[in-house]
Chain A
Amino acid sequence: GAVVSQHPSWVICKSGTSVKIECRSLDFQATTMFWYRQFPKQSLMLMATSNEGSKATYEQGVEKDKFLINHASLTLSTLTVTSAHPEDSSFYICRETAFFGQGTRLTVV
């Protein structure tokens, strides 16, 4: 089946810095990647949908300038958390078709 590789699996960064998370489609070229955020003991919250070669579609309440999504190639979508703050600490995970990446645990200190 389709495989999505997500990196890094965890990252610790200082407040005010930016962090980039990558999701790569390894064996299935899908044009759409879905980005989620998950707080402890909660469900998956869709942040945005990215399509290759076009601007991402953000869900209501998600700051576009803070969570930059790029999908420049068919197989790679990236999420950049800009000017990170402790409240951005969370589990970020991408999905392509029915398969999720490994997830990234972001901790902002």
Chain B
Amino acid sequence: GENVEQHPSTLSVQEGDSAVIKCTYSDSASNYFPWYKQELGKRPQLIIDIRSNVGEKKDQRIAVTLNKTAKHFSLHITETQPEDSAVYFCAASTSNFNKFYFGSGTKLNVKP
């Protein structure tokens, strides 16, 4: 089955700096990769997703890159703000209607 690994487990950055979170997956059949932000006690919120037919997707300060050959994808947050502090999860799936295989999460701390 699919195995998703996520690094780092914790990440501290200064406000205004960039943050990068990386995930790898094992199943070449996976073609849908969502990213979630989860604040304490709340539901995971979809912040961006990418499908395997594109290599990069951007939404304001957030971008995701995908390397299908190497089976890894990354979340990039630029100009970080304290409100970006949360736990971020990556996931891999064959579609958003199917099982998601989640990474272990990255706790991002943005220091003001």
Contact = CB atoms under 8 A, between A and B. Distances in A.
Interface stretch (B40-48, B54-62, B66-74, B77-85): B40-48
A42 to B, nearest CB: 8
B107 to A, nearest CB: 8
Interface residues of A, number: 18
Contacts of B97: 30, 32, 97
A105 B104 contact: no
A34 B100 contact: yes
Nearest to B45: A100
Interface string A70-104: 00000000000000000000000101011111110
A97 B96 contact: yes
Interface string A10-27: 000000000000000000
Contact of B89 (A43, A93, A105): A43
A44 interface: yes
A46 interface: yes
A20 B11 CA distance: 37
B31 to A, nearest CB: 14
Nearest to B41: A105
B36 to A, nearest CB: 8
B46 A98 contact: yes
Interface of A: 30, 32, 34, 42-44, 46, 49, 93, 95, 97-103, 105
